[in-house]
Structure 1
Amino acid sequence: MLITSSNQSMDIVDLAQVPQAIETLARWHYDEWQQLYPEESLADFIADLRASTAAIPVPSTFVARENDVLIGSISLLERDMEIDEPWTPWLANLFVHPDYRQRGVGKQLIKHLTQFCRANAVKQLYLFTPESRSYYETLGWTLVRRQAYKGQMVDIMVRAISAEAP
């Protein structure tokens, strides 16, 4: 997928096409979310990303690049929380580098993942967020419940993947 605007172009590609991005993404993800995964090391984050480069739909990771510069990521995981619910799959690792935020990159990554889910017959998608509930609600996500998780209150959300929705 290639998105162009003025002098810049952004593309979104499967992480398997740019495995050299794994360590950078793992560092970004570790720095951003390590408090939610205190038992995991940077090496675990690297291993999880490597696992998402296999030729299967779940897990998968996609990266956004602008003029070949890595600017963000999004993943589709079987599970993203240790809870006693059978819910699957999960949107995870939505991350946009701070220098590229507020430019629609996150929305484009979510749109790309939603299209990928639709193409792979995924009927609904879950996520959890400690602080971005209103953002996801504007994109069609619905709150399932709010709960304590790893020392924080998080919102668990769901979105149906329909044939019409972007």
Structure 2
Amino acid sequence: MSLPIAGSTWFDGRVPNPRSHRGPTFADLLKQRGDSHEASTSQTLPSIIRDRSWTDEDGTVWRMRGGDQPARKTVEHLLLDPEVRVLLIADLRPVDVALKDRAGLWAEVRQYYPEAKRREPGDHTDFAVAEFRDSQRRSLLVIERHC
């Protein structure tokens, strides 16, 4: 007797469902957590950088500047500026990064910046960085962590 192949018929006439023994999908897990606003209709995760604009909790609309990641010097300058809001998105929710925590964040992000592509085997971490501006020319630095 041979084992059934996906798409073949079982001995009782049922067609096997290849997903029947898998756990919940990532979208299902997001729904359980309450993060289903986009996960229920799409397999891609929300991304402020990919969307190129973001409206914050106060209704301020932020629009991305440029197309590529800013130069390292630009990022360092923005991180040091107390007038610049910095958002880290690591768990689907934007978190404001306090001025005192920015140096530590940059130490981690800098390792993955395009010019420094030295990774340990099995390290799939990546960061996307972008500068945004609002209508009053204030700056926002968005850092997205992808694993």
More helix by share: 1
- Scaled by the length of structure 1, the TM-score of the pair is 0.24
Larger relative contact order (Cα-Cα within 8 Å, sequence gap ≥ 6) = 2
- Scaled by the length of structure 2, the TM-score of the pair is 0.26
More strand by share: 1
